[in-house]
Structures are given as structure tokens and as C-alpha cells.
Structure 1
């Protein structure tokens, strides 16, 4: 079996793992502790993927820097002690990674999650071992755009952008892939929407891990 790309980069939350329980639990606790109303589930789910500080600034422009910093501290306390483990690898992902690896495909994680919690999740769930490259944001809870995580992997691997694909579930993944020049496939089992990804130029979508496997195979 051969594959369509030499390098496959995966987002983490909503692509490799269903991290909603731990992330939304941490967000709820942080909102409560700073005395803000807890937003509805649909709003909380939009925080899954982008850096927390960026999403707070985008969604709550009236929240001052002191409140943002307190929020992030409470969120981190929850996530580091509990939230990272309130998580699960999507069924079929480990088999897919093994199949890609056996076929000689290079594997990478490109996640906007900060380095410390990303490493905790990847190590705990056995996802670090098959990866050739791991690209994360620093621990500031800020981000510069997904392309800044994709481009270093392309440089380190020596794989041209035309032979690489970013797999993700949000508009941030789709936009980053477009700006980095790689292919993109959106997974609809995650936390973003097809419409948002299409607005960033996405054209390819799959509804399951099995469909993702079929997309990556060179027919």
C-alpha cells in the first residue's frame, strides 16, 4: 500500500483525541473562579483548538489583562491536574498511525496547545512514540498561527509542502495549511465546522477515521 503524501501533520485536540471533557471542564472552573458567567456549551467548544489567551481576547474584549491572566492560571491548574486525562484517543487513530509509519510516511503533530500540556497528553496516551516531529506553541497560551508550527516541520524534514498534508478540524488548521502551502483535509468528527474551514480554502473533508485512512491512501 502506498500513500499520497510523504509527511502527514496532525492537529491534536479534535483530530487525534477527543479532549472536550477536560478542556471544557477547565474553562467552566476558570470562569467561575474569576466571577464571570459560564458561557453555553457551544461557546466553550469554540475554545478547543486555538490558544486560550487568543480566544479570550477575541471573544471577551472587555476582559482586562489581569482577569485574562487569572483565568489562564485557574484553567492551567485544572487542566494540569485533571483535564489532560479527561481525554481519549479517537478509535482507529493508533492503527492509522501504525499503518502510515509502516508505509514509510513521516508523522508529525502540529498543535496550538502549549508545549507542557501537549507533551503530557502525547506521552500519556502513547501518541508521542510514533511521531517523527512534534511542533507546539510555547507555554504562554498565545499563538502566532498554525503555519508557524507547520513550516518548521517542513524545514526539518526536508519534505516539500506539495508532498505534505495537514489534518485538522478547525479554520485555524485550514488557514495555516493554506499559508504554509500544504494540502489539507478537514475531519468533521472534531470541534470545528465545514463552513468555517471552507472559508479558509479547505476542499477535502472526511467524517471518520476510516474515511481519513481512505483519503491518505494513494489510489
Structure 2
């Protein structure tokens, strides 16, 4: 039984891919670059906005851009997304009810994301009841990005828990590696931005829907009944 449950954001709690793709393309088009498909953006999400933009530029006609231009375009994207993080985003159906159920069972809840910290807080404040999540953290310059476990382990410690108290839930290879690096019990979801085959290298339990995740948390290993 895990008293502290930490979720990834994009592809786990929230379906944000339409919003992310729109802001990527808004930024790229303003810089004379090609647009990317939702499917392409989806393969790039999970590491960080820096990874998304850097690799996206290589696919959108910006392969020869230097560091200064790449940094400028990244900053433009982050500002565009900070200004418009809501339209085209939504929690996965059933996920808010699951979080409320966990809270009612006395669990503490966290969110740990590679999305820039200010954007994470804007999204969480808009879509989830205030106070539902006890710890919310996105990428900050003072901490390394996932899958480095430093920030997540710091969150766990600051929340007053230990590794063995914590369950981490994510949807990507980055989350799987993070779970391994942090030494945490981990569940990977395949209803988000990765398919089962993308996560085949990981031995963690995998669930293919919010309903299946809910069932796992209620009846599976570490059941919360």
C-alpha cells in the first residue's frame, strides 16, 4: 500500500498533445518553418520542451539553425504555450475521479513533469480541484530533467515519505527509466503517448486505460482498499 502516489502529467493525467502541437506549429510558422503533425509531435513529447523543439526543428526545415536561434525559438514556444496551455487540453476521462478517490482514501498525490514548472502549475490549477494534489513540480533550471531521479526523490523527501512509500505512474520510456533510476514501484500507462511495444523493455506493470489503472490501484499489488 503506497501512501504517496506521483503522476507524470502529459500522457498520464492529461491529454495535451493537440495543445502542444498547435503551439509548436504557431511558433515554427512564425519563424518560416514547416508544421509538424500531431503524430510526430507525440513521438517527441516526454523529455522536455527543449528536446521537443530541438528535435522538432530538425524535422521542420531548421536543421541548420545555430544555438542562438534554437534558444530563441524555444523561448518563443515556451511563452506561447504558457499563454495558451488550456485550449486543446483535457484530463483523460475518469482521471479526476480517480484522483479524488485516492485522496478520499487518505493518499497524498504528486505530479512530476518535464514540462516547464510555470506551465505545469497553470494546467493543474485550471483542470484539477485546488488542493487535490499535494506536490506539483515541473522542470526547473536548478534540477536535472527526468529521467534523472534527483527532483523526484527531493519531492518524496519534502513530502515526508520514503521510496518504499511511493508509487510512480507515467506513460513513456523516460518515465520507465526514471522509475528504475529512482528505485520506485512504477506503473506505466499505454493509453497516453506510447504504445505497449514502446515500453516492452520495462518489467513494470502496464495498464491500457484509466479504468484499468483504477482497477489496478484498487485491487492489484499495493491495492488501496
Q: Which residue matches 1:120? A: 122
Which consecutive residues of structure 1, in runs of 5 or more, have no partner in the other structure? none
- 1:60-99 equivalences under 5 Å are 60=58, 62-99=64-101
CA separation in 2, counterparts of 1:38 and 1:103?
45
Moved over 3 A (4+): 55-63
> TM-score with structure 2 length normalisation?
0.85
Instruction: Indicate the SS of the match to 2:200.
Output: helix
> Which blocks of at least 5 consecutive residues in structure 2 are unaligned?
none
* 1:25 match: secondary structure: helix
Contact 2:120/2:137 (CA < 8 Å) preserved in 1? no
In 2, distance between residues paired with 1:139 and 1:78?
A: 19
More deviation, 150-159/50-59:
50-59
Matching residue within 180, 188, 191 for 1:189? 191
Aligned to 1:85, what secondary structure does the other structure show?
coil
Shifted more, 49-58 versus 182-191: the winner is 49-58
Q: After superposition, where does 1:95-174 map in structure 2 within 5 Å?
A: 95-138=97-140, 143=145, 145=147, 147-174=149-176
Which residue, 16, 41, 46 being the options, matches 2:43?
46
Superposition CA RMSD, Å: 2.3
Cα distance in 2 for partners of 1:62, 1:35 equals 13
For the 8 Å contact 1:154–1:161, the answer to whether it is kept is yes
- Which one is further off, 120-129 or 101-110? 120-129
Contact (CA 8 Å) 1:21, 1:83: kept in 2 or not? no
Tell me, yes or no, if the aligned pair for 1:34 and 1:67 is still in contact at 8 Å. Answer: no
Give the drift of 1:103.
Answer: 1.1
Q: Distance in 2 between matches of 1:168 and 1:127?
A: 21
Q: What is the TM-score normalised by the length of structure 1?
A: 0.87
